[in-house]
Amino acid sequence: MLLDLKAGLARCDGQPMSYEDWGRITGRPGNTIASWSAGGAAHQLQVLLASLERLPEEQRHKLIHAACREYPTLDHPKLAHDFVACSRLGTLLRQPSGLTFIQGPDHMRTFLLSALGHSGASLDLKQAPVTGVDIHRPDHFVPVAGLKYLDNLLRAGEIEREFKRLWPAVCAAQARLILLNGVWQNAAQLHSEIREAARKSHVIVAEVALKAGQLASRELASTHLVTVSPARERPDWIRIEIQAI
């Protein structure tokens, strides 16, 4: 079953998945997962399956669904209902450098930022790593591999201190994509360094509210503002507006 799961993940990713890749997205060593796949955890898996198969199908599916966090991608129904906006987001994501800002309600901008991070693999960006800092704890959504999560820090001073501590490592990673969520307004002293990083990487910054006039940069050829809000068709869908600034 684990080997079938590995193959299924590879099909979804559109390319082969090594045990090291599998370990990267699960937070476990690749050699450990390889051992499990060879039968090292067979008895534990058998106990789980033998228990689940005794539940009614609907209850079994509900149990699995409740245990899985939400997986944001550009193909998720919350975004995919607007295929034009998703196509434009894909184009933005392919840009090798530049600065993109996302503003709007916390859960919506976090969902979109995570979707852009996860969707990098499907856009042939997997070999170019993703890094960055997010102030949230990934307890309700699948974390983006490479991001540093600050476990829901609320105090501005603590966010600033942690971001300043992590920023050198973010820069040293020389990532193709840098994601920053909830730190821009708390780290004004690093704005110039963030803009400088956007000359070599594509930096995506998510904040609750931003003013387009304060975001433009003469040094950068590509700067965009993405605004998210509830869609008219369904409040749980996300409406996306993209503006070049």
Q: What is the pLDDT of residue 217?
A: 65
d(C-alpha 109, C-alpha 216), whole Å: 20
Residue 241 region, left (φ>0) first, then alpha (ψ -120 to 50), else beta? beta
3-state SS, 106-158, equals HHHHHHHHHHHHHHCHHHCCCCCCEEEEECCCCCCECCCCCEEECCCCCCHHH
Specify the pLDDT at position 134.
95
For position 221, what pLDDT does the model report?
66
Angle at 136 between CA 130 and CA 140, to 5 degrees: 95
Distance, CA of 47 to chain centre = 33
- State how far the Cα of 69 lies from the Cα of 92, in Å rounded to an integer: 26
Q: Cβ distance 197 to 98 under 8 Å?
A: no
User: What one-letter code names the amino acid at 57?
Assistant: E
- For residue 239, list its beta bridge partners: 229
Other Cβ atoms closer than 10 A to 78: 18
What 3-state DSSP class applies to 56?
coil
Burial class (CB in 10 A: 0-12, 13-18, 19+), 152: exposed
Task: Supply the pLDDT for residue 203.
Answer: 95
Strand partners, 228: 240
Per-residue pLDDT of the chain (245 residues; tens, 9 = 90+): 777 888 888 887 677 888 887 787 777 788 888 887 777 666 777 788 888 888 899 998 999 888 889 999 999 999 999 999 999 999 998 898 999 999 999 999 999 999 999 887 556 555 558 899 999 998 889 999 889 999 888 888 899 999 999 999 999 988 889 999 999 988 888 999 999 999 999 999 999 887 666 666 666 668 899 999 999 989 999 999 999 88
Check whether domain 77-244 has CATH 3.40.50.1110, yes or no:
no
Q: Check residue 1 and give its pLDDT.
A: 75
The CA-based angle 48-50-56, given to 5 degrees, is 100
Q: In the block, which residue shows the tokens 């890749």?
A: 21
53 CB-side CA count, 13 A: 6
What is the residue extent of each domain of the chain?
A: 2-67, 77-244
Stated pTM of the model: 0.83
Q: Strand, coil or helix: what is 244?
A: strand
